Amino acid sequence: MSGGFEQTVNAVMVLAYMFSMIVVGYLAGRATKPTTEDYYLMSRNVGFILMMFTYLATLQSMVAFLAATASYMTHGVAYLILPLSQGMLMTFLSLLLGWRYREIARENGVISQGELVYYRYGSRVGQIVVGLAGYLFNLAYIGIQVVGMAYILWALGVLDYYTAVFLVGGITLVYVLLGGLRAVVWSDLVQGVLMLLFFLTVGIFILVPLGGITGALSLAYNFNPDIFKLPGPAKFYTDSVYVSTYVILPLGIWLSPHLFIRHYFARDRKSLVGIPLGVLLSQAIMWVFIAPLLGFVAQAVLGPVSKWPIPRADLAIPYLLMRYAPWWLVGPILVGAMAAGMSTVDSQMLAEAQLLIRDVIEPIAKRRLTDMETIRYGRVIIAVTSVVAFIIALFPPPLIIDLMVGIAFAGFAQFFPALVLGILTRRVNKYGMLVGLVVGLGTVVAIQTYQLVYGIRPVGYYMGVHNGAWGLLPNLVLTFIVSHVTESRHQHPAR
């Protein structure tokens, strides 16, 4: 069979899958009531199975497919800090606080992160700061997913990069506009299953020819023993990098708006247990098992990255597939890869609308929008946000994980004192929360701007410490000092 025929078959399979998501969006739209609660939160009635799959599908994005493998290839076993910290800290936080967020959201009609800040502290300024910061940091995150999906289609010869950017982003936009959260959750069930099957299939077809797990590990060790030593082949994971990343990365991921608000729409406490189970299941399969093995053997099999057709480390899996997978399997695997990206982008698009409407527009307008206004304006925001994300995707960074770790997660981690500590203790008041938040966000933005302007790498770390830690330290200190000094008697009690 000719290469042209094979690429055509793969392209048809991917396109068929993408357009099937539009059908899901259409059906979800027909079942969705024209109310804010139903369009954005599915009437807060998502059960255990759907909660587990919508969380794991949204959590595990194109980063697991592309950047995780590249990072294991570069840093070896040192990169295991990511799944370890995520699995432990995110599970703990969801079990500790998930039910509290759900109760506050139900009692007060909360649909966004900033609203939670308002109902806890009574601060409209704090609400607006959280809403704007969440929106802006999330933009980079959305752009990353589009970049990842486009790279896969491009590297495997299905579509050129720019066509892929507009296609994957545009189709995701359409089904989110049609069906709101119901379209997202329904598609997440399908995409979550496809994504897990895809990772297992990729692992089997690549690792079996190499002699299985033991054969792959032997090959990797013989090629570069430093893969199995700390601080890794790149000598990057020093003690300060380890400690700061272990704390900041899971906090930044867990506090990402599109993941955080999933605590709001669980049907009951039992349904909330689906969140930590989704984290543990997906982390074990994708980050602890498949991605490390593929990353360890990539250069031993493919040669130096500089000699790859497209010299990018985060294209290791596509090139391994071209080497070992039969042509007829590439199409289904591409579908699983698209599922990984689309299942995150759809939730992010919807969250962006929630942040701007409830946390920025309504506080400034000083009135609650009607249900129809909220849905109509939300759709406009989603469309505009998509255009901005497309522009980001047209100018991709050297490694897509740079935007994730260095920009998005460092910013989201600054919400920790306001959204976690403030729920646990009354010692945090609105003045301390606001001063700490502004200083923390300002510190992260200043450091990252300095790094980007002057080309200082690695993006996301300064003097061997995660940028988010440089922001979170003064954030925490000022939150408690200012709260103690002001001793506000007018804050809302912690729930």
Please tell me whether residue 466 adopts helix, strand or coil conformation: strand
Q: Could you report the per-residue pLDDT of 416-461, keeping only the tens digit for each?
A: 999 999 999 989 999 999 999 999 999 999 998 888 788 777 778 8
Q: Which two tokens stand for residue 472?
A: 């979170």
Q: Could you identify the residue written with the tokens 């098992």?
A: 289
Residues 346/24, Cβ–Cβ less than 8 Å: no
Q: Could you give the CA distance from residue 117 to residue 203 in angstroms, rounded to a whole number? A: 43
Range 455-461, long-range pairs (CB < 8 A, 24+ positions):
458/236, 458/402, 458/406, 459/397, 459/402, 459/403, 459/405, 459/406, 459/407, 460/402, 460/405, 460/406, 460/407, 460/410, 461/241, 461/244, 461/406
* Entry pTM: 0.90
- Tokens coding 183: 């379209």
The yes-or-no verdict on residue 494 having pLDDT over 50 is no
Residue whose token pair is 């998502």:
46
**pLDDT of amino acid 396:** 65
pLDDT of residue 404: 57
Looking at residue 122, what is its pLDDT? 93
Does position 299 have pLDDT exceeding 60, yes or no? yes
Per-residue pLDDT at 12: 85
pLDDT at 380: 94
The more confidently predicted of residues 329 and 215 is 215
The two structure tokens encoding residue 204: 């089997």
Dump the DSSP string for 263-299. Answer: GTTBSSHHHHTHHHHHHHHHIIIIIIIIHHHHHHHHH
pLDDT digits (tens, 9 = 90+) for 388-414: 888 877 776 554 455 555 678 899 999
DSSP for residue 176: H
Burial of 358 (0-12, 13-18, 19+ CB in 10 A): buried
pLDDT at 376: 94
Which of 59-63, 289-293, 398-402, 468-472 ranks highest by mean pLDDT?
A: 468-472
3-state helix, strand, coil in the chain (%, to 5): 80, 0, 15
| Domains of the chain: residue spans and CATH | 3-399 (1.20.1730.10)
DSSP 437-451: HHHHHHHHHHHHHHH
Task: Categorize the per-residue pLDDT at 495 as very low, low, confident or very high, splitting at 50, 70 and 90.
Answer: very low
Q: Averaged over 92-120, what is the pLDDT?
A: 94
C-alpha span between 391 and 289 (Å, rounded): 34
Q: Cβ(421)–Cβ(479) under 8 Å?
A: yes
Which residues on neighbouring strands pair with residue 462, listed in sequence order?
A: 465
The CA distances from residue 391 to 139, 143, 369, 381, 449, in Å, are 10, 8, 30, 16, 19
Extract the tokens encoding 193. Answer: 């299953």
Tokens 């009135």 correspond to 367
pLDDT in tens, 343-402: 788 888 999 999 999 999 999 999 999 999 999 999 999 999 888 888 877 776 554 455
pLDDT band at 35 (very low <50, low <70, confident <90, very high): very high
| pLDDT given at position 403 | 55
Mean pLDDT over the full length of the chain: 87
- Quick check: 119 and 363 in contact, CB under 8 A? no
Following DSSP, what letter does each residue of 297-348 receive, concatenated?
HHHHHH--GGGSSS--GGGHHHHHHHHHS-HHHHHHHHHHHHHHHHHHHHHH
In whole angstroms, what is the distance from residue 262 CA to residue 54 CA?
Answer: 9
pLDDT of residue 310 exceeding 80, the answer is no
Q: Which residue has the higher pLDDT, 204 or 151?
A: 204
Instruction: Indicate the pLDDT class of residue 151, thresholds 50, 70 and 90.
Output: confident
